[in-house]
Structure 1
Amino acid sequence: MSLVVYLAAVVFGLSCLVLFRRPRSRLTLSTCVAILLGSLVFVCSAPLTLATVNRLTGVPNFGAPLTYCMMSAYSCSLLVLLINWRGGSRARVRRRVLRSVAAYTLLGVALVVLFALADTRTERLTDLDTYYADTPYMRVMIVLYLAGHSAATLAMCAVCVKWGREVTGLLRTGLRLILAGNLLDVVGFQLTKYTALGARWTGHDLDFLSTSVAPPMASLAALTCASGFVLPRLLPAAGAQWRGLDLHRRLGPLWRLVRFASTAPEQPYSWWRLPRERLRWREMSIHDALLALAPYFDDGVRERAHGAVLSAGGTDRLARPAGEAAMLADAARRAAAGEEPPAVPSTHRLRATEVSGTGELVELARALDDVTAAGADRNGTVRAAHG
């Protein structure tokens, strides 16, 4: 059980790495604090952690108030997150945050005092809530920590429902996931705890709800919430990397033709380099190679290819990249063979070197691929005719 709880804590906590991009943003900071405190709740509630804390302090069940205070801090962080979401003047936000912190600090103090007054000499690592449900002071302590957590999660649910109607796209999806996670917490963790406690108070035994159902539901709820926090930021970044991978691949024909002429430092291959980084390096190297091949450009080759496309019924939009691709292929052939540049230097500038962005390079690569394919077809036809 401890391994599952620790795994949930690690996954929940790692979502901060995706969110922590702008450390000066109050919203980002409050989100990360909430996630980290939620992770610490899982760590503190694991039976192995509870046993270790009890042994180190020499106080049976000392891990209980530690976990409950950590959960209260997590609940407070949810309210602070809501306050920062709602926004407003800095003074108003600060005032609301201080009130929330003060309220949950008093709750934490009350939990510690009630634990000190209670008789908890029997160590319970997995069923403390139900075992001490009828014990003076402890039952009040248990209800208080659950009530504090319920108040925060229900407030979060209300805000997610309200804002879910006002936003669209990934933000709405993220809010729905956060709402689903909090509802799982309310129904799967809190309601089962309340039910198990109520059964104890009425002389029945439904302890399995508290010991076997509530913990995994709490883990699932936390992971669902984490995905809601992360999704609006992770998916756009993942989409950008996927587009970078596609553009990197589409620049392949152009890169294979001109790579010999590039003087840019070669990028060492590393499996961890992201596609966008590889794309930037390939763009830089291609531009460097195009500059090196510019003295070999022949306007005659470009104009003939340009005219051939127009004669075949093509538009100037198609003829321009075809002409430039033919001229570039001829220049690369001359440079690779060690030939002299044309006697009359070209004054034409490739559109790919005049316009920023990857789009023109991709268009040139596509046209170059067509020119290469057409040349291969012509060569094959000639060989067949002489065969």
Structure 2
Amino acid sequence: MNLVVYLAAGLFGLSALVLFRRPRRAVRDPLTVSTCVAVVLGALVFVCSAPLTLAAVNRLTGVPNFGAPLTYCMICAYSCSLLILLIHWRGGPPERVRRLVLRSIAAYVPLVAAIVVLFALGDARSERLADFDTYYANTPCLREMIVLYLVGHSAATLTMCVLCVKWSREVTGLLRAGLRLIMAGSALAVVGFQLTKCTAVAARWCGHDLDVLSTVVAPPLASLGGLLCSVGYVLPRLLPPLLAHARCLRDYRRLGPLWSRVRLVSTAPKPPSAWWQLPQARLRWREVSIHDALLSLAPYFDDRVRERALAAARDRGRTAHEARIAAEAAMLADAARRAAAREEPLPAPSGYRLHATEVSGTGGLVELAQAVAPAPAFPATRRDPRTRGNGEDLPWPSP
């Protein structure tokens, strides 16, 4: 049991660290803060409920079973944080959000205070690390304390299920997937934790022994339900930036052939080569460097090379856009070769604007890079002195 709950707590904590990776920015976002608080409290619930932790808390405080009310208070705080998270997630006018948050806090603070008072009034002299709920199910004050925390947690999870069902009908995409995961985790918590705990406690009230439901069945199901909820919280917040990083890394690599072609003429300053640099920063630097190189190569652009490549691409059945990109790649290859050979620029520069410089984003550069890729970097060709500089003896990428 200790391994299961500690593993669940570790995964919860890892989720919080990922979400709170930029503290200065995160503290300004109520949704991020409420998500991290909910995840951290969920991790603390699992840590506090482990028998090993309960024994350590009881030993440190010198109070038998002190870990039980501590765990119950954590469960109530976690339940309240779930409701606050959903309130922030749903959004709305700030005054309405603030009012609902205060109502949630006002409902659970007295519940936590009542748990502490009832434990102080009850008689829990015998230390119970795994079966406190069922062992003291008939003890005055402790019985009411157990019922209170079960009712408080059940109310929060049932409310979450209802809200997630209603809200999932109004949204799509990752938000709907996250809500369904939270709904599944909450349903599993209701069936696997509350129902089993309540059944075991009720059995004690009736004189029967179903402690196995509380000590063996409930912990792993509660851990699984909590993990599903944690994934549901994190998925809509974490997956979009991860996908954005993946797209930037893909475009960065796809621009490699074009960058290897023009890097010798780029004068853009190099950034610090830190391995932890985000893909967006690397992609942005490569885009700026390539545009700088294209500007430097403009005096070498030869319209005759481009027109020959354009005609060849059209003869091969390419579309107008594909033929244009192939022709631009051929003209760029010729310009890069002559610039690398330190030849003089053309006496009458082309003035032609590449498609990649007319569109925003990385798409135009990626298209040009893919057209440049098949050609060797600087092909060695036999040149006719009579046609030197007119581009007639220069190969271009296959369209």
Q: TM-score normalized by structure 1?
A: 0.88
In the alignment, which residue of structure 1 is the partner of 2:391?
none
Instruction: Please tell me the residue identity of whatever aligns with 2:291.
Output: H
TM-fit CA distance, 1:341: 2.0
Alpha-carbon offset, residue 267 of structure 1: 5.2
Kept after mapping to 2: 8 A contact 1:5/1:46 = yes
Tell me how many residue pairs correspond in the alignment.
376
Gaps of at least 5 residues in structure 1 are 379-387
1:280 aligned partner, one-letter code:
R
Deviation string for 1:269-315 (max 9, x for gaps)? 55544433332232222222222322322222222222333455544
- Identity between Structure 1 and Structure 2 (%): 71
Aligned CA distance change for structure 1 residues 361 and 130 (closer, same or farther; 3 Å): same
Task: Tell me what 1:285 maps to.
Answer: 289
Kept in 1: contact 2:150–2:194 (CA 8 A): yes
Distance 1:344 1:210, change over 3 A: same
Q: Does 1:342 align with 2:346?
A: yes
Counterparts of 1:229 and 1:59, CA distance in 2 = 36
Range that drifts further, 184-193 or 38-47: 38-47
1:98 to 99, 102, 106: 102
In 2 relative to 1, CA 363–97 (structure 1 residues): closer, same or farther, beyond 3 Å? Answer: closer
What is aligned with 1:170? 174
Aligned counterparts of 2:234 and 2:90: Cα–Cα separation in 1: 19
Deviation at 1:29, TM superposition (A): 3.0
Distance 2:89 2:367 in 1: 44
Give the corresponding residue for 2:390. none
Take 2:46 and 2:156, find their aligned partners in 1: how far apart are those partners? 17
Amino acid at match of 1:79: L
Query: What is the correspondence of 1:108-119 to structure 2 with a 5 Å cutoff?
Result: 108-119=112-123
Distance 2:250 2:99 in 1: 49
Inter-partner Cα distance in structure 2 for 1:343 and 1:84: 64
Aligned residue for 2:57? 53
With 53-62 and 178-187 compared, the bigger mean Cα shift is at 53-62
Contact 1:61 1:124 in 2 (8 A): yes
Secondary structure at the counterpart of residue 263 of structure 1: coil
Question: What residue in structure 1 maps to residue 16 of structure 2?
Answer: 16
Shift of 1:71: 1.0
SS at match of 2:64: coil
Distance change in 2, residues 1:284/1:40 (3 Å): same
Paired residues for 1:265-344 under 5 Å: 265-266=269-270, 271-344=275-348
Per-residue deviation, 1:32: 2.7
TM alignment of 1:251-270, pairs within 5 A = 251-266=255-270
Opposite residue 194 of structure 1, the aligned amino acid is C
Question: Is the 1:322–1:371 contact (alpha carbons within 8 Å) kept by the matching residues of 2?
Answer: no
2:217 & 2:284 partners in 1: Cα distance?
Answer: 50
Whichever residue aligns with residue 11 of structure 2, its letter is V
Counterpart of 1:80 in structure 2: which amino acid? I
1:254 CA drift (Å): 1.0
Cα distance, 1:19 vs. partner?
4.3
SS in 2 for 1:365: helix
Instruction: Report the 3-state secondary structure (helix = DSSP H, G, I; strand = E; otherwise coil) of the residue aligned with 2:267.
Output: coil
Shift of 1:46: 2.1
Give SS of 1:238's match: helix
Unaligned runs of 5+ in 2: 383-399
Does 1:66 pair with 2:79?
A: no
Separation of aligned partners in 2, 1:293 and 1:224 = 55
* Counterparts of 2:122 and 2:181, CA distance in 1: 39
Moved more, 345-354 or 145-154: 345-354
Shift of 1:48: 2.6
8 A Cα contact 2:35 2:85, kept in partner: yes
After superposition, give the CA deviation of every residue in 1:312-367 in whole Å (9 maximum; x if it has no partner): 55443233222221111111111222222223233223232333211111111122
- Residue type of the partner of 1:283? E
Deviates more, 1:153-162 or 1:274-283: 274-283
Alpha-carbon separation, structure 2, partners of 1:243 and 1:144:
49
Greater shift, 11-20 or 209-218, is seen at 11-20
1:133 match: secondary structure: coil
Cα distance, 1:371 vs structure 2: 5.0
User: Are 2:144 and 1:179 equivalent residues in the alignment?
Assistant: no
2:134, 2:211 within 8 Å by CA — same for their partners in 1?
Answer: yes
Q: Is the 8 A contact 2:298 2:351 kept in 1?
A: no
Partner of 1:79: 83
Identify which of 158, 165, 178 aligns with 1:154: 158
Q: Secondary structure at the match of 2:373?
A: helix
Cα distance in 2 for residues equivalent to 1:272 and 1:197: 53
Tell whether the 8 Å contact from 1:325 to 1:371 is kept in structure 2 after alignment.
Answer: no
Contact (CA 8 Å) 1:61, 1:123: kept in 2 or not?
yes
Relative to 1, partners in 2 of residues 1:83 and 1:327: Cα closer, same or farther, differing over 3 Å?
closer
Which structure shows the higher helix fraction? Answer: 1
